[in-house]
Structure 1
Amino acid sequence: MGPTSQRKGGWEGMGGKERGGKRSGGVAAATHLCYSNYIHHVIWLAVRPKQDLGCEVHAFDHDADHEHYDYRLGPTAFFHKARIGSETGYMRLLDHGGRRLSYLKMDIESEEWSVLSQILHHQNSSATLASTAQLSLEIHIELHGKSLSEKRARIASCLATLEELANLGFKLLTYEENELNPQYEDIDGAHLGLYAEILLLRTNRNSTYINPSN
């Protein structure tokens, strides 16, 4: 993944350490690597639980509200005033190249479908995704104000993206509707929940389940 100024959003992941050495200001590489982007106003709540679990945490956000954060948030937690896109530049910049992800989370407020499509059709990023064990998504299917044909097309597009993930070996493990802002739509006899959090497990590789707490 790499820097971008075109889209506000992000992804978060933990990956097994492939090689030793010092990273990020002289800190020894932790067993798991965590990236978090679009952290809203709860930066410490977003990074501390993962740091406490022994992860090396890098938080990314480009909002002006985050101007006051220091680069060093904790012993193994860091903040970057930047955004992450589908390229791999930031992983190279931070010397994280070659580290595989065991947990990846995206929470980007309805932009997940276009970003996922970019990742799936970008050679390097799709390879990173293909080696990821777990994928957690905050999904939003925005249908308000659309005609029936537009709603059908939107749903078909989302299903096509999920099918591409399935082709990589991802299977649905958990599904939880958004309780704070539930949204539903009845289309062609189906009652659809439009906002939810899902966890996908890639079943075509040996992997250890990581509880994505927080």
Structure 2
Amino acid sequence: MVMFRWLRLVEPGKVVWTAVMVTLLHMCIFWLSPGKLIEVSPTTLSYHLIPLGSMSFFAEELQPMIIARNDTGDKLSLYSAPVDIVQSKKIANLFMNKSPHRMHNFQGKQAGGLYTYFHNSYHRSEEVQLRETLEELLDMLSVPTYHCKKLLRMGGFYCNHKPDGEKHVCHDPNLYPDNDYCMVYSFGVGHDFTFDMQIDKFGCQVFAFDSDLYHSHYPTYITERLTFYKVRVGTYFLKATQYQLHDMAAGPFVVEYWPIPAIMAKLGHTHHQLHYLKLDIEGDEWTVLEKSLFQTDILEGTQQLALEVHLDDLRHGGGYLSLHSLLTCVARYLRILHGLNSRGFLLAHWEPNYKGSELTTLAGLTFHVFSETLWVNPGYQRRRNNPTKGQPPPQL
């Protein structure tokens, strides 16, 4: 009987002990796990993914996130590994208090090439600066600041179901008045004239430009209002010998580069306004904008700018570029976009380039390397262009 009572008394203790152990095990799993997946609500036309405040470089643990995009329909899972550079600002202050004068080249623990230095006071690392600058760049490229009431798709997939060549045009009444002479410059047509031919049907006179080995077979006068010149846009005059990389047996061919101001002068358009300017020039858009167009007042007389954006320097997470070089590249992109803003242009539309849909991750942000943008100049002062008399010249 005594033994029976003793066993009955011990049994509740076993239950309590088991419950305590299970609770402790759950607590350990919770604290050691990388965290719960946080669902981030999609932002229209925004292709930067994680808000800056969610990634503290002094946090002991960063939680993984799922990022949803309502435009592309895809989901990207981005895991930010714990960054163990300096655990807190208190530790930073502790190091500084030990050396009240200067601590040269204090090197914390490495995290993806990131080092933290102290020099009398706590300074932001270059990686934090890179992230903040990149966030501003992606905001400017993806968050519209101009509302277009009637946005039209022209060319490309809309016409031939191929995922390239499609451009957007803002067709609001105040931007597209009736009975007004309309001029379009289209740089970088490739071998798809669907956009140029469709905007020609809206009554615009279109001048298209591009050059490769196979363009020699195209006529100059595509339609009554569409003229094609076999030159590429550049920042200065240049004749270069090139090869088709996918067809080396075809042999070399000569490509001419012309600056836009020289083209307009040659065609008698120096005092004309451009209703629509398309730049689809495979990464050269940044140099042409900063080194050529920004040196003139052509953009001030341009109403809409279709810009295919290439962030080539940021591909593959920046490749082998140093943090300082990446920061310089991002700052250059940002500087040129601010140059567009200062000339009155506001972003009206953004979408990824579906033909070259390439994603990269840099400084904790995942984004499209190639994208299509439309910029509108609402302060554009319209004046009536005088149509050029006679047929445009057969060549430049």
Give secondary structure in 1 for the equivalent of 2:326.
helix
Unmatched 5+ residue regions in structure 2? 1-166, 170-179, 235-258, 383-396
Counterpart in 2 of 1:159?
Answer: 334
Q: Where does 1:101-116 land on structure 2 (aligned, <5 Å)?
A: 101-116=274-289
Distance 1:41 1:157, change over 3 A: same
Does the alignment pair 1:84 with 2:233? yes
Give secondary structure in 2 for the equivalent of 1:74.
coil
C-alpha distance in structure 2 between counterparts of 1:148 and 1:158, whole Å: 17
Among 146, 156, 181, the residue aligned to 2:320: 146
Question: Which of the pair is proportionally richer in strand?
Answer: 1
Counterpart in 2 of 1:61?
Answer: 210
How far has the Cα of 1:206 moved from its partner? 5.5
Distance 1:141 1:205, change over 3 A: same
Give secondary structure in 1 for the equivalent of 2:199.
helix
Counterpart in 1 of 2:303?
Answer: 133
Does the alignment pair 1:98 with 2:282? no
Q: Is the 8 A contact 2:300 2:380 kept in 1?
A: no
CA deviation profile, 1:34-81 (whole Å, cap 9, x unmatched): 2222211123x2432122111212222221211112222111222222
Identical counterparts, % of pairs: 30
C-alpha distance in structure 1 between counterparts of 2:380 and 2:209, whole Å: 29
Counterpart in 2 of 1:185?
Answer: 360
Number of residue pairs matched by the alignment: 176
Does the alignment pair 1:49 with 2:49? no
The RMSD of aligned alpha carbons is: 2.4
Question: Which of the pair is proportionally richer in helix?
Answer: 2
How far has the Cα of 1:196 moved from its partner? 0.8
Q: Is the 8 A contact 2:360 2:369 kept in 1?
A: yes
How far has the Cα of 1:134 moved from its partner? 1.7
Give secondary structure in 2 for the equivalent of 1:72.
coil
How far has the Cα of 1:148 moved from its partner? 4.4
Give secondary structure in 2 for the equivalent of 1:66.
helix
How far has the Cα of 1:157 moved from its partner? 1.0
Q: Is the 8 A contact 1:108 1:138 kept in 2?
A: yes
Match for 1:139: what amino acid? V
C-alpha distance in structure 2 between counterparts of 1:98 and 1:108, whole Å: 24
Q: Is the 8 A contact 1:36 1:46 kept in 2?
A: no
How far has the Cα of 1:198 moved from its partner? 1.1
Counterpart in 1 of 2:351?
Answer: 176
Give secondary structure in 2 for the equivalent of 1:65.
helix
Higher alpha-carbon Rg:
2
C-alpha distance in structure 2 between counterparts of 1:132 and 1:179, whole Å: 27
Counterpart in 1 of 2:222?
Answer: 73
Match for 1:55: what amino acid? C
Q: Which consecutive aligned stretches of 4+ in structure 1 deviate over 4 angstroms post-superposition? A: none
Among 20, 33, 37, the residue aligned to 2:183: 33
C-alpha distance in structure 1 between counterparts of 2:282 and 2:380, whole Å: 30
Give secondary structure in 1 for the equivalent of 2:222.
strand
Q: Is the 8 A contact 1:141 1:194 kept in 2?
A: yes
What is the TM-score of this pair, normalised by structure 1? 0.72
